[in-house]
Structure 1
């Protein structure tokens, strides 16, 4: 092997990711919420960037604002004192009053429980202890705080603490204040008059076996019939494991906002981008005039840099919207039967299918659909990524994995509950219909749909 040192001149093509390209890619794959957060941060940090509405609202007052400031001094102040993220311009116009200002506080589960305590006939001390316990319930309505800690913090006896906890157990919703799932279920069966020793034993010691439908094994332990265990199991499964369900627990509910709406007009589907998610941005005209009128080079260069950053952000957001529009439009063309007739007609579709039609790189399409949602003509909101399904070759025909899952689910729904079909038996049924699917694939799809194996679906 010959080793030496030397200089060689070579020519090659290489793609270098600039900071702007990296930001553009980052914006493309952001969800609507992430993009909104990013824009809010940029508006706070970039003094020349503003929301379009605020610019229009203040357009009539711009001349007055110009007379109030020395632009050169303001730019220097913002730059050298590192206050670029704040804008201290005084508003001479009345701010718009938000209707959300007049919305009252939501009534929580804690409020509901304390109202019941106030209406009960317990003394002040017990009421205070019960209120303390209520304040320490978790989001499920359980008391996870150790009673020994409660006794120490409140300087009370364990007997009094347990008495106050029993008072909470009598409140609605039924099962509130339990310290674990078993206690929650036991409270419910006692208050509903369903209590017996066998039922208590199942709840206290055999919930795991019950979740696996191992009725025979539980029956041997309790020396009762499997059918009786099954009846107990049906009763337990009808109880509420989360007492706080349906009540506001203090956590805000997050809603999915669609990135686009699909509307059918005259047998054609239109893609309407949701303009309300991302606010329109403008360059503040005051800073544009600084470039033309100011003699301070430092101020001009500072403003130019901020304007360039703002313009790139505006263009990147617009490019993100156009790319997403093109991808959704092509998906509609490809999955026309799905949009016309429903889930049964979804076709196998990969990112490569769409990227090839649009002459885009697969990674671009993948980023464009990440965490994006669309609202269908029926009003249902779906994740765009759910429309991409792998293909399974069946003879000369291709079916999507979603269609295969639907067929497997229908077969299981029609089975004899006393003799549920095993995965091998389901495969035999599929083979009789001309669908050659492996047993392992069937088990995988069944798990993905949350359907238990045959041993746990059996009914007596």
Structure 2
């Protein structure tokens, strides 16, 4: 084998992204809160940056008194008025919300333990059991382990467990789903053997809606099985549901408001979620001063920090203008959606928007990632407005997947529950209305809607 080593000169074109370009792209795809956190870190690390957080943009105070006229205007603007009262996710969080602390499941149980007529020793074991509950309200430990951990007798721990299980909510501190359901039946005073037998031996069959097999196993009529199943579904499989879990609630802040004024839709960018950034005058003077000859290192350091700050400000402005341009085209294409609602959402792709604003699809994709807008329909994720469609001669235009899903939902809601429609039958119905999709696509959309298959929807 002959090995040769040669030197060759080649010419090629490559796009190499600088660190600043990469940062600009990264900032474009950040959500409002992610960008807020990023800006906070930059302000801490860059001494030349000044950030102003405008906390009184909507309410103005004068002589420590609230301007109530402005306050009422603010309430009316965001649909808080008495004539049209409903909660929108966009609403500014009221300070009154945080006057009282949210009660967790463990707090609720410990308050009940204080009131039970038991000795202090039993109460302490009960409190330890409560600390071992998972986020469903199930006991995430065994009696044997608890005995070892707190050096208690098994009889004492089992008795304390019964005390905890007697508390509200029903089914708490159970070991598994079967025990959870049976605790609830016992507390309701129900002693039906068939019902307990169904829970003990047929839960898997119940989950798959195989009522015929349950009927044979329990030797009762299908109609009775259906009645038992309906009752079991009224029980709570997760007793902890509805209680505060201790996790912080993440609020969605819209990047823009879409308002209809004099028959035309206008985009109002939400500048309140980000602080106003500017360069500190002190550091500007250091750079501009003519007496920097003796301290060039300081001047160079300040210049570098000012350049970084200016780039950050420009990138934020670029992010804002890109989102604005994308929203302009969305409003133009989806006017019927904003006027009449979700059923009028037209097929729209990233490629279509990118062509209109002369940007790459990836840029548009980053611009809408985790971004929300506030409309007269509430808060909407921008990405949800992008849907594919199928061609249709009858409708004269492409039909969006949203419209197809709504039609599937209508078919299932109006079906005979004793003879539910199969995916193929739904497919045939859609084809008659010139919605030409396959059976597999019907199944896919049905699952996305959270609707079970025909065999699991059947009732007896």
Q: Normalised by the size of structure 2, how large is the TM-score?
A: 0.85
Name the CA distance, whole Å, in 2 between partners of 1:163 and 1:355.
67
Moved more, 280-289 or 305-314: 280-289
2:379 aligned to which of 381, 393, 418? 381
Q: CA deviation at 1:13?
A: 4.0
Counterpart of 1:163 in structure 2 is 159
Deviations 1:222-278 (A, max 9, x none): 111122111111111111122122222222222222221111111111112222222
Q: How does 1:47-446 map to 2 (within 5 A)?
A: 47-53=47-53, 103=99, 105-293=101-289, 294=292, 295-378=294-377, 380-395=378-393, 396-446=396-446
Q: CA deviation at 1:215?
A: 0.7
Q: CA deviation at 1:407?
A: 0.6
Name the CA distance, whole Å, in 1 between partners of 2:235 and 2:10.
77
Aligned length: 412
Counterpart of 1:35 in structure 2 is 35
Q: CA deviation at 1:420?
A: 0.7
Moved more, 301-310 or 276-285: 276-285
Question: What secondary structure, in the 3-state scheme, does the structure 1 residue paired with 2:273 have?
Answer: coil
Q: Against the structure 1 CA distance between its residues 321 and 131, is the aligned structure 2 distance closer, same or farther, given a 3 Å change threshold?
A: same
Question: What secondary structure, in the 3-state scheme, does the structure 1 residue paired with 2:272 have?
Answer: coil
Counterpart of 1:57 in structure 2 is none
Name the CA distance, whole Å, in 2 between partners of 1:344 and 1:338.
7
Q: Is the 8 A contact 1:262 1:375 kept in 2?
A: yes
Q: CA deviation at 1:142?
A: 1.6
Counterpart of 1:64 in structure 2 is none
Name the CA distance, whole Å, in 1 between partners of 2:200 and 2:272.
52
Q: Gaps (5+ residues) in structure 2?
A: 55-94
Q: Against the structure 1 CA distance between its residues 195 and 309, is the aligned structure 2 distance closer, same or farther, given a 3 Å change threshold?
A: farther
Name the CA distance, whole Å, in 1 between partners of 2:280 and 2:196.
70
Name the CA distance, whole Å, in 2 between partners of 1:340 and 1:381.
15
Moved more, 403-412 or 391-400: 391-400
Name the CA distance, whole Å, in 2 between partners of 1:236 and 1:310.
61
Q: Against the structure 1 CA distance between its residues 398 and 285, is the aligned structure 2 distance closer, same or farther, given a 3 Å change threshold?
A: same
Deviations 1:275-332 (A, max 9, x none): 2222222222222222234431111111111111111111101111111111112111
Counterpart of 1:85 in structure 2 is none
Q: CA deviation at 1:201?
A: 2.2
Q: CA deviation at 1:105?
A: 4.3
Q: CA deviation at 1:388?
A: 0.5
Counterpart of 1:63 in structure 2 is none
Name the CA distance, whole Å, in 2 between partners of 1:144 and 1:133.
9
Q: Is the 8 A contact 1:31 1:370 kept in 2?
A: yes
Moved more, 292-301 or 400-409: 292-301
Q: CA deviation at 1:193?
A: 2.3
Q: Normalised by the size of structure 1, how large is the TM-score?
A: 0.85
Question: What secondary structure, in the 3-state scheme, does the structure 1 residue paired with 2:117 have?
Answer: coil
Deviations 1:362-387 (A, max 9, x none): 11101101111111113x21211111
What CA RMSD, in Å, does the superposition of the two structures yield over aligned residues? 2.0
Deviations 1:115-159 (A, max 9, x none): 111111111101111111112222222211222121111111111
Q: Gaps (5+ residues) in structure 1?
A: 55-98
Counterpart of 2:16 in structure 1 is 16
